Amino acid sequence: MRKVYAFQAFNYSLLFYILFFFFSVSFKIIFTSSSKAPWANLNSKNKSMAESSRFDHDLVLAHKFPETTYIYTERDAAVYALGVGACGRNAIDSDELKYVYHEDGQQFVQVLPTFSALFSLGSLTNGSIDLPGLQYDPRLLLHGQQYIQIYKPFPSSASVINKVSLAGLHDKGKAAILELETKSYEKESGELLCMNRSTIFLRGAGGFSNSSHPYSYSNYPKNQAPALKIPKSQPFAVFEDCTQPSQALLYRLSGDYNPLHSDPMIAEVAGFSRPILHGLCSLGFAVRAIIKCICRGDANTIKTISGRFLLHVYPGETLITEMWLEGLRVIYQTKVKERNQAVLSGFVDLHHLTSSL
């Protein structure tokens, strides 16, 4: 019955084209949490095409991104909070109700720090990166990591000016790595709110170095991207949270409309049994766990957030976030309970620890 509904939802000619394209070649899908999924077709024809793509790193580095504006309201902040599981276990949880409701009015609703990841979505055009000097197969694009620096608490509503720049470009042989940095300013005050750095892997776009030494450019301190090792000791805290079967449908209301997360037919073509959860949604769940267990409900103690996307999550699965406290740094790993597989890892740096720890 589900296939019948899917056929009714698509124009028949478009459906025929999609099915013909995907089933005419052997393929493997690489997915991301960006606004469109990069269909990672690894057949020999597309691979050789990608490997022969031209890559002018001088043009890429010289590119100036246009400023973008992101406007959000109290309602947007509340819908996002629900999308990453706030109040999902307990609708009257005082630690989380403040993200969706305030007795004195919605203008007092607090904003989760991971909400800022939405600001950087404007760096992508239809799920791909349009840069002069950069030619690649967009189906081989993978959103690998997200780094967020918080400079001040976010207002419950704001108009945000985003300034995007290239923070890193690296030749990894068979792949190129782009690091896009988005600095977000409150339009009214001009104050810097946060910085997002998105790490994008372009499979098949490497090999562009002009010398025997692989090309590598980075404009930020190395300590912002340390090699992360998950401790072998017992976690300081463990938090279990259940995603809802409709979790991806709720999260997509915050602006990520990739059909991989909502359309059963697209998910099936991509090799999944059903639509998958957005990676940035999983990151929101993990940071909520840290706020609850380590920060004792005070999101303003969070200074930086780093997350690496490892594996997909199906809506309805149970997420277990393990946390290790090392000074003012929380190292975390999130697993899917039903499959016992790690789906996300990273760290969160704090301004201070709560007195109760």
Domain boundaries, the chain: 2-350
Q: Cα 348 to chain center, whole Å?
A: 15
pLDDT at 140 (0 to 100): 65
Facing residues of 230 across strands? none
In the CATH scheme, what is the code of domain 2-350?
A: 3.10.129.10
Is 279 one of the catalytic residues? Answer: yes
**Planar angle of CA 320, 116, 111, nearest 5 degrees:** 80
The average pLDDT across 189-202 equals 92
pLDDT at 308 (0 to 100): 95
Residue 10 has pLDDT above 70, yes or no: no
Average pLDDT, the chain: 81
Mean pLDDT lowest for which of 135-139, 211-215, 220-224, 285-289? 135-139
pLDDT at 133 (0 to 100): 64
pLDDT in tens, 64-91: 888 999 999 999 999 999 999 999 999 9
Q: Cα 155 to chain center, whole Å?
A: 22
| Residue 81 DSSP class | H
Whose CA is closest to 284, among 32, 33, 92, 91?
Answer: 33
Is 168 one of the catalytic residues? Answer: no
Mean pLDDT lowest for which of 45-54, 204-213, 259-268, 314-323? 45-54
Active-site option among 261, 284, 307, 346: 261
- φ and ψ of 326, to 5 deg: -125, 90
**CB contact at 8 A, 195 and 181:** yes
Confidence of residue 113 (pLDDT cuts 50, 70, 90): very high
Mean pLDDT lowest for which of 99-108, 211-220, 347-356? 211-220
Active-site option among 76, 137, 171, 256: 256
Whose CA is closest to 81, among 333, 349, 299?
Answer: 299
Residue 298 or 54, more confident: 298
Is 290 one of the catalytic residues? Answer: no
Query: For residue 5, what are the contacts with CB-CB under 8 A and spacing of at least 6?
Result: none
Is 256 one of the catalytic residues? Answer: yes
| Residue 195 DSSP class | E
Q: What is the DSSP string of 132-172?
A: TTB---GGGEEEEEEEEEE-SPPPSSEEEEEEEEEEEEEE-
| Residue 197 DSSP class | E
Give the highest mean pLDDT range of 3-7, 22-26, 326-330.
326-330
Q: What percent of the chain has pLDDT over 90?
A: 52
Alpha carbons within 13 A on the beta-carbon side of 204: 24
Q: What percent of the chain has pLDDT over 70?
A: 76
Query: For residue 88, what are the contacts with CB-CB under 8 A and spacing of at least 6?
Result: 82, 241, 242, 243, 244
Mean pLDDT lowest for which of 92-106, 146-160, 171-185, 288-302? 171-185
Active-site option among 29, 200, 266, 276: 276
Q: Distance between CA atoms of 269 and 29, rounded to whole angstroms?
A: 9
Measured on CA atoms in the order 309, 310, 311, 316, is the torsion positive or negative? Answer: negative
Q: Would you say the pTM of this structure is higher than 0.85?
A: no
b/e code 39-62 from CB counts within 10 Å (16+ = b): bbbbeeebbeebeebebebeebee
Active-site option among 88, 204, 206, 279: 279
The size of the chain, in residues, is 357
